Structure 1
Amino acid sequence: MSHDLTRVAILGASGYAGGELVRLIDQHPLMELVHIGAHSKAGQTLGSVHPNLGGGDRILGTLAPSEVPDVDVVFLALPHGASAAPAMALSERTVMLVDLGSDFRISDPARYAAAYGSQHPAPEQLGNWVYGLAELNRRNLVGAQRIAVPGCYPTSALLALGPLVTEGGIDTAGIIVDALSGVSGAGRSVKAELQFGAMSDSAHAYNLIHHRHRPEIEQGIEMVGGVDPIVTFTPHLVPMHRGILSTAYARTGLTEGELHTILLDAYTDAPFVNVIEEPPATRWVVGSNNALIAVKVDERAGCAVIVSAIDNLLKGAAGQAVQCVNIALGWDETTGLPMTGAMP
């Protein structure tokens, strides 16, 4: 490959999101993947960890920043708490850092501590990373060198709610978000509750009230609306491999047609977001970087019901990360990203 291409490294390439990054970057016409690092899988071949990728003779290195060669972009696809140290070490270089983890999403140290139950190791860095929800924060992504990719649940919820908050179409006090996620959202874990025997023909809610994505959703609403929202968020794991379906409820005084128009206008120039008439299914977006959104109004209750569907590993993780880099570097944001889902 020509070294005129943007040189890329991935730390955390052995996980599901990291594997999707490898797949996307290998097919990206303007990027060259020159380093892949992992923790427990270091030293193994890429193909043995991700058989779907083949991998040839590529070997997973470690997560040590000293192993990262001279590159233009480093993607950090690491668990919570694992990105800060390599990010700080790599900050000494002239390099774009893109964190798919949760270490830099929350901009306020006090909110971070409340959300995650610990102090941030580099609180002075919070607020210096651009929140990478492209459709709602595009202007700040242009030229950005530090990008915090939103969580999968907040991506789904904020795409549904953001324009309606910005235009004052819904009441931000008492928003409820129920979200259903495929088990890949829990990562490559061997926990008993994630095994086939536990998940097949079953579904369950988890981390009620205190899920760490709730403060991130509230922060996103503040970002687009300048308001102090109250959100109740309940995530559920359901027996599917991937995808997120979020249903948000909020008080409104507008009609269904008015809310639909707000969403249509907001996403006119957003190639990955489609506003549709009827509620979407996750199957329609899996395998793509798309988001599908529909809104209905229960006029009897004065309640807007907004439903969104995304692929948690693409629009909710790796695809969104690549989309952010495309925008930051001035490329067409769709470059190298799948725009159609896979059926059945």
Structure 2
Amino acid sequence: MIKAGIAGATGYTGIELVQLLHRHPQAALHWITSVNSAGKPLSEVHAVPWNYPLITLEEAYARAAEVDVVFLCLPHGQSITAARTFAAAGIAVIDLSADFRLQSAEAYRRWYGLEHTAPELLPSFVYGLCEVNREKLRTARLIAVPGCYPTTVNLGLYPLAKAGWLGDRVIIDSKSGVSGAGRTAKQPYMFVEANENMTPYAIGYRHRHIAEMELVLNGAAPGGACHFTFSPHLLPASRGILSTMYVRAPDGVTETQIRDLYAATYAGEPFIHLLPAGQQATLRHTVHTNRCAISITADDPGDPACRDFIIVATEDNLLKGASGQAVQCMNLAFGLDEIAGLI
């Protein structure tokens, strides 16, 4: 039985992890922390039937030896000290923040505007995109869970990138449910502001998640770098992400070849749902699951020489985009069945 702790259990990703680990057949929660609700049982903070006591992060440090793995569901910039402390105690760390996703302190400063205070740890973290880094994750002790938007984009485009068929520019239009902003009381995320509305933000080459797209997709491409034009939107829904990606394939590459490429790349993947021709990926394909659904459409199906394709990928931002993927990483790192607790 894997003994687990959660730092930051009362946010949206934290409470999802509590629920996943509570029913996991080979894991058990030993402690959970909260900054604002320490001293209370979890049932006073969330509408759940479990009275797990909430403790402070400092108490968790003192009780580090009780667990085999700790999940960090802390805000960006606040996971660094916790990761260093638990790693020094020999505990496996699975970080759901962005603090260890990028490969250098310079990239972290560029995209997050913060100084990284533990750059020596960055090379030790494995980027937790299971379908791409599965073998590295099997021996990982430090894991950085990918961001929610990049999970749909990277899984949606990885086969094209790896084959060298991605081209030099991709336009991405993504929409996320309000829970993607976290459990925060900022005006744009209030019901009256978000309901019956849809808002673009940080559009163009601005959003910090572009760094992860470049990391995975440009890293997989056999040559050349793709420029990503990314337009995220706040969707009036509680959860879910839908990313629509516009790509141009090389001359001579057909829709059938692209479908065959995706089928071969994702053969046997338990959480990738490739849709047949004529079907489009929707939020309902994936919300409340750990799946990523992908559809492929030729821009002009009547043109046999059509090079323009529309790839749509969807996920639940709190599961495949965060907590579910974190558990999938844990399963791999501890030699468990990859789907344990997720089906």
Shared fold (TM-score, shorter chain, > 0.5): yes
The answer to whether the aligner puts 1:144 opposite 2:145 as a matched pair is no
Superposition RMSD in Å: 1.3
Contact 1:136 1:224 in 2 (8 A): no
Task: Output the CA distance in 1 between the equivalents of 2:73 and 2:294.
Answer: 27
Q: Which amino acid is the alignment partner of residue 236 of structure 1? A: H
Contact 2:195 2:236 in 1 (8 A): yes
Q: Which amino acid is the alignment partner of residue 279 of structure 1? A: Q
- Equivalent residue in structure 2 for 1:22, among 15, 18, 21: 18
Alpha-carbon deviation of 1:260?
1.2
- For 1:342, the equivalent position in structure 2 comes to none
Contact 1:105 1:150 in 2 (8 A): yes
The answer to whether the aligner puts 1:293 opposite 2:294 as a matched pair is yes
Aligned positions of 1:178-197 closer than 5 A: 178-197=173-192
- Equivalent residue in structure 1 for 2:234, among 234, 237, 247: 237
- Gap regions ≥5 residues in structure 1: 339-344
The answer to whether the aligner puts 1:122 opposite 2:118 as a matched pair is yes
Task: Output the CA distance in 1 between the equivalents of 2:226 and 2:34.
Answer: 38
Structure 1 runs (4+) greater than 4 angstroms displaced: none
Alpha-carbon deviation of 1:192?
1.3
Alpha-carbon deviation of 1:222?
2.6
Contact 2:64 2:89 in 1 (8 A): no
Count of aligned pairs between the two proteins: 331
Q: Which amino acid is the alignment partner of residue 195 of structure 1? A: M
The answer to whether the aligner puts 1:256 opposite 2:255 as a matched pair is yes
- State the secondary structure of the residue aligned to 1:127: helix
- For 1:60, the equivalent position in structure 2 comes to 54
Alpha-carbon deviation of 1:95?
1.2
- 1:44-65: per-residue Cα shift (whole Å, max 9, x none)? 21012221x2213x21111224
- State the secondary structure of the residue aligned to 1:312: coil
Identity of aligned residues (%): 40
Aligned positions of 1:32-47 closer than 5 A: 32-47=28-43
Aligned positions of 1:214-229 closer than 5 A: 214-226=210-222, 227-229=224-226
Q: Which amino acid is the alignment partner of residue 49 of structure 1? A: V
Contact 2:77 2:114 in 1 (8 A): no
- For 1:319, the equivalent position in structure 2 comes to 324
Contact 1:170 1:304 in 2 (8 A): no
Q: Which amino acid is the alignment partner of residue 180 of structure 2? A: G
Alpha-carbon deviation of 1:119?
2.0
- State the secondary structure of the residue aligned to 1:10: strand
The answer to whether the aligner puts 1:101 opposite 2:97 as a matched pair is yes
Task: Output the CA distance in 2 between the equivalents of 1:178 and 1:211.
Answer: 12
Using structure 1 for the length normalisation, give the TM-score.
Answer: 0.93
- Equivalent residue in structure 1 for 2:334, among 324, 329, 334: 329
- Gap regions ≥5 residues in structure 2: none
